[in-house]
Amino acid sequence: MKTLLAAICLLTLLAVAYLSASVLILRPPRANVGVWLTLASVFIAVGAFTLAALYVESLSAPLRYAVLTGGAVVTAVGAWMVRSTLTSAHFEGYQLVLGSMLVVQGALTLAAFVKPRAAQLTPLNP
């Protein structure tokens, strides 16, 4: 699962870099550059932080919670992007693809860093 998470983080980082460059170079009329650059900064920070956390030998509790929070944030923003694309009169394919990638990245982050609770087994007394 960690390999898959690392791959989707790298793909998301590449997609955000590509889209940021295209927004800055092409200056589309409907683009809100300030909002996009803020979201891109969050996506890059969360992706880089998740990649770094994947390769830490012993992950401390605060670091694990920070990664989990980042995973929840990108999941929520990705779901919002998908929903807004599907309900809008103007369809944005890149927004749909990036939003879907963020949902997958967030879900994999949550699955990879949530510690499973130890089964609470009680010994059977005959």
Residue with tokens 């690392």: 6
Task: Give every CB contact of residue 42 below 8 A, 6+ residues apart in sequence.
Answer: 73, 74, 77
Q: Count structural domains, the chain.
A: 1
Q: Global pTM?
A: 0.86
Tell me 30's DSSP state: T
In tens, the pLDDT along 62-90 reads: 899 999 999 999 999 999 999 999 999 98
Of the pLDDT bands very low, low, confident and very high (cuts 50, 70, 90), residue 47 is very high
> What is the rounded distance in angstroms from the CA atom of residue 82 to the CA atom of residue 103?
9
Tell me 22's DSSP state: H
List the domain range (segments joined by +) for residue 49.
2-113
Is 123 within the bounds of a domain? Answer: no
Is 96 within the bounds of a domain? Answer: yes
Residue with tokens 């992706």: 47
Is 53 within the bounds of a domain? Answer: yes
Is 75 within the bounds of a domain? Answer: yes
Is 26 within the bounds of a domain? Answer: yes
Contact 73, 42 (CB under 8 A): yes
Residue 110 has pLDDT above 90, yes or no: yes
Give the mean pLDDT of 26-48.
Answer: 93
Residue 124: predicted pLDDT: 59
Residue type, 116: P
CA distances from 43 to 17, 123, 124 (A): 10, 47, 49
The token pair at 87 is: 């309900």
Is 65 within the bounds of a domain? Answer: yes
Is 121 within the bounds of a domain? Answer: no
